[in-house]
Amino acid sequence: MLRHGRQKTKKTDELLLKAARESIILLKNDGDLLPLKSNIQKIALIGPFADNREDLLGSWNFDGDPEDVEMLKEALNKEFNSSTQIIWNRGTDVLGKVDNLSQAVDVASRCDLVILAVGEPASFSGEAHSRTVLNLPGLQMKLCEEILALGIPVVLVVFFLEDHFVFLFFL
């Protein structure tokens, strides 16, 4: 059940899945990295949005149930068989209060592919939450820079409800 008495039904689940699929934007796919190949040996899943249910609800976190959110970490573990090892490291929290960047870089350096999961917290979205600096909060940009410097193929997954992060990576 959704909060505020709204019923969760198969039809609402189907509509939500359709909306999610239609809102995904692929900006670049160098070397046909996507869709991910099933023969990848080791994937590093790095970033604060790999296992973050609350912030994935965005500004709708007041009405959604975090238990209904499938985290990227869970989805990858379901998708890949046991021959692909998925190694997870947060690297930092969303706001940069935790700094494990060196551990994340070490994990990434031992993998064939990195999936970076970054974004903005739910508290940054919604009415009266305008920002004067349009960047990834905390240490997330530094995390991205350090992982990209390794030269390993990277899939960047940015979770946000605004369009301003796109410019950080493609200008």
Contacts of the segment 135-140: beta carbons below 8 A, 24+ positions apart: 135/165, 135/168, 136/165, 136/168, 137/94, 137/95, 137/96, 138/92, 138/93, 138/94, 138/95, 138/96, 138/97, 139/91, 139/92, 139/96, 139/99, 139/101, 140/47, 140/48, 140/92, 140/94, 140/96
Query: What digits encode the pLDDT tens for the residues 45-94?
Result: 999 989 887 776 666 566 666 677 778 888 888 888 788 999 999 999 98
Least confident interval from 15-19, 97-101, 149-153, 163-167: 163-167
Least confident interval from 17-31, 93-107, 133-147: 17-31
pLDDT at 130 over 70: no
Which CATH number fits the domain that encloses residue 23?
A: 3.40.50.1700
- Based on the structure, what is the number of domains in the chain? 1
pLDDT, average across residues 143-157: 94
Measured between alpha carbons, how far is 155 from 49 in angstroms, rounded to an integer?
13
Measured between alpha carbons, how far is 61 from 53 in angstroms, rounded to an integer?
10
SS3 152: coil
Highest averaged pLDDT of the listed ranges 6-10, 70-74, 109-113, 153-157: 109-113
User: Containing domain of residue 128, as a range?
Assistant: 3-170
pLDDT, average across residues 83-109: 92
pLDDT at 20 over 60: yes
pLDDT at 110 over 60: yes
Peptide bond into 121 cis (omega under 30): no
- Average confidence score pLDDT of the chain: 80
pLDDT at 162 over 60: no
Reading across the β-sheet that carries 42-46, which strands appear in turn? 85-89, 42-46, 113-119, 154-159
Parallel, antiparallel or unpaired: strands 113-119 and 154-159: parallel
